[in-house]
Structure 1
Amino acid sequence: MTQTLDTSTPPPATEQDLLPGDILLMLSSGQLSTLIAWCGDSIYSHAAIVADQGDLIEAAASGVRRYPLAKRLVDTTEIVLIDAYRPLAHDGSALDEADRKRVLDKAESMIGIPYPVDALAFLGVVVAVRGKWPQNWLARIVVREALDHLIQDNPSHMICSEVVYRALAECDAQPVGRLAPRIVMTGPTHLPFPKIDAKALLEEVWGLLHPQRQQALAAIRTHLQTDPKAATPPLQGAPADAALRERANTVRDRLGLSVLPITASVDDAGALLEEASAETPARAIPHPNPKLVMPLDLASSPSHTQIGRLLQADTVQ
């Protein structure tokens, strides 16, 4: 079963349409966020949950935190789009006030938890879970660095969509898990590979690299500074599929996932897919690992209904 991602523009929504416990899915600005969204078969690169007192709760570089919702809704420098979703109980009914308080209490209990997964490491998680990497030469190098970055650090750290999933799944609702979003693993969404500014992508990634990796990639940086639209890499070239698969499998092993099959890759809109393919049937995941829940899973969950679009910057593609 092939999933076709609905990329039509949702109806407009405002802050007044939101309730505590609602889900916010976002696309951050920058080339790396664009790559994260595409590798995740989604239009989103970040997730948060609506709190009370005009705040949202999210995982940020400083850890899980509260952040002013009104400030986020006008931040077109850092955010490209924000869509709102409303969680439903397993019987399809709306959450009542007591359930929303339970969700908020759980989200608040996570405030302060460290969030050492930077955007580069998050890309590594997305690539490993979805089994998808691009054909573009520089994007492949960035994916390799993301996987190595994650392997060197810790792939088990909390990611943004985990905060949202756990707030719903692990709140004090009875029976236990009554508000857990139903997660359905799907095949590729066939989004075309986005236009990537290669020089800007590498500059964005540069500050996240360990010094020895900066030294190793210095020639590529010089190459792009000389020719920002270079269609081919310098002599060291882009990593082969086997090298990316090996790294992805190392991350998957640490996350408790099976290895990616060693089969011919499926060419899909500029991607090399090692696991998902056009024939991959959608399948429900009864008890998903919260660390493996992606923004796509939250958007496509039958437990969530879309409210509308809160923000769309002029730069969204």
Structure 2
Amino acid sequence: MTQTTPTPATPPAAAQEDLLPGDILLMLSSGQLSTLIAWCGDSIYSHAAIVADQGDLIEAAASGVRRYPLAQRLVDTTEIVLIDAYRPLAHDGNALDDADRASVLAKAESMLGIPYPIDALAFLGVVVAVRGKWPQNWLARIVVREALDHLIHDDPSHMICSEVVYRALAQCDVQPTGRLAPRIVMTGPTHLPFPKIDAKALLEEVWGLLHPQRREALAGIRAHLETDPQAATPPLQGAPADAALRERANTVRDRLGLSILPITASVDDAGALLEEASPETPVRAIPNPNPKLVMPLDLASSPSHTQIGRLLQADTIK
């Protein structure tokens, strides 16, 4: 029997003054691709960052790992529509002390400037390959196929935003080593309803990330959306079938060192197939998780983190 996940209650409001260095920020951006990333990742989040000192956050960005003013992020509702804050706990369940937070911040700062060689399309490909989930919407399926092909033809071993947060906590200089490493648990699909997607805006957002030959192949669809932005069916070519998406996802999973999705997996249960999860054990701890595969969902679901509250909720969020 398929179980649905209840819609979580809106967290209490929080403010920048409530935060401490080492706290975790999970965000949803306003773009169509970000919305698709969140849905495919079984999460309401598409980005992660860690709170620094001096009013900054530290995050992976297209230009590399960087500091960014948190106050600016909180007022930039044209780009960000949702920010929730979480507080990490040590393995004994106690809050981090000042020395712990200083160690986490030092590790985060040591990653500043590290290249972040992944774009949003590749990020979507990693999310889909790890979660094994793809939408029924025709254009979203085409974009998912492009995202997986993007990784197949390029190097998939990229640093994603959640990796920076995870490494700052797991690899900081504390004793015993790894005492602050977030416990990552395996979670099945959340069955979030598929969001409203502006097809024309989604394709335009993806367009500049595509390889030239793929832009040529999709030119007819782009032209059709110019005249019919709400097209309900794919013009000129069909959306890829489940088997085609699964084949591409398995190619990426193999490169990432993950097990292969069974050929019998369905769209509804593929998200539960992470590393042999079963209905009898829908949630279990993952020992020594690969930092490169830690997702925003993993940070939100970790029993090592407690939610502080919501710092930002723009009017555009549903």
Same fold (TM over 0.5): yes
CA distance in 2 between partners of 1:2 and 1:290 (Å): 29
Change (3 A) 1:88 1:250: same
- Aligned in 2, Cα 1:113/1:95: closer, same or farther, shift over 3 Å? same
- The residue type equivalent to 1:17 in the other structure is D
CA shift, 1:264, in A, is 4.3
* Structure 2 match to 1:122: 123
Partner of 1:30: 31
Match of residue 136 from structure 2:
135
Task: Kindly provide the CA deviation profile for residues 179-234 of structure 1, in whole angstroms up to 9, marking residues without a partner as x.
Answer: 00000011011110001111111011111111111101001101111211111101
**1:275 corresponds to:** 273
Q: Provide structure 1 residue ranges, at least 5 long, that are not aligned to the other structure.
A: none
TM-score of the two chains, using structure 2 as the length reference: 0.95
Q: State the alpha-carbon separation in 2 of the partners of residues 99 and 2 from structure 1.
A: 39
Letter in 1 for 2:193: P
What's the TM-score once normalised by structure 1's chain length? Answer: 0.96
**Any idea what the Cα deviations from partners look like across 1:90-146, whole Å, max 9, x if unmatched?**
110000000001100100000111002111100000000000000110000000000
- After superposition, residues 37-186 of structure 1 pair within 5 angstroms as 37-186=38-187
* 3-state SS of paired residue (1:250): helix
Q: What is the number of equivalent residue pairs in this alignment? A: 314
In structure 2, the gaps of 5 or more residues are none
**Residue 189 of structure 2: aligned partner:** 188
**Contact in 2 for aligned 1:29/1:79 (Cα 8 Å):** yes
Distance in 2 (alpha carbons) for counterparts of 1:13 and 1:151:
41
Deviation per residue, 1:235-262 (Å, 9 max, x gap):
3211111111111111111111011111
Q: Alpha carbons of 1:103 and 1:118: their partners in 2 closer, same or farther (altered >3 Å)?
A: same
Shift in Å, 1:77: 0.7
Task: Tell me how far apart the structure 2 counterparts of residues 140 and 177 of structure 1 sit (CA, whole Å).
Answer: 39
SS at match of 1:73: helix
Cα RMSD, aligned residues only: 1.6
Contact 1:252 1:259 in 2 (8 A): yes
Q: 1:5 to 1:161 in 2, by over 3 A?
A: farther
Distance 1:274 1:240 in 2: 20
Distance 2:278 2:198 in 1: 29
Deviates more, 1:145-154 or 1:31-40: 145-154
- Give runs of ≥4 in structure 1 deviating > 3 Å: none
1:265–1:273 contact (8 Å) kept in structure 2: no
Tell me the equivalent position of 1:307: 308
Q: What's the offset of the Cα at 1:24? A: 0.2
Structure 1 distance, partners of 2:215, 2:267, is 32
Contact 1:3/1:187 (CA < 8 Å) preserved in 2? no
Closer, same or farther: CA 314–205 of 1 in aligned 2, 3 Å: same
Q: Can you list the C-alpha shifts for 1:24-70, whole angstroms capped at 9, x where unaligned?
A: 00001111000000000000000000000110000001000000111
Amino acid aligned to 2:36: L
Cα distance in 1 for partners of 2:223, 2:288 equals 47
CA distance in 2, matches of 1:181, 1:3: 26
CA contact (8 A) 2:23 2:86 kept: yes
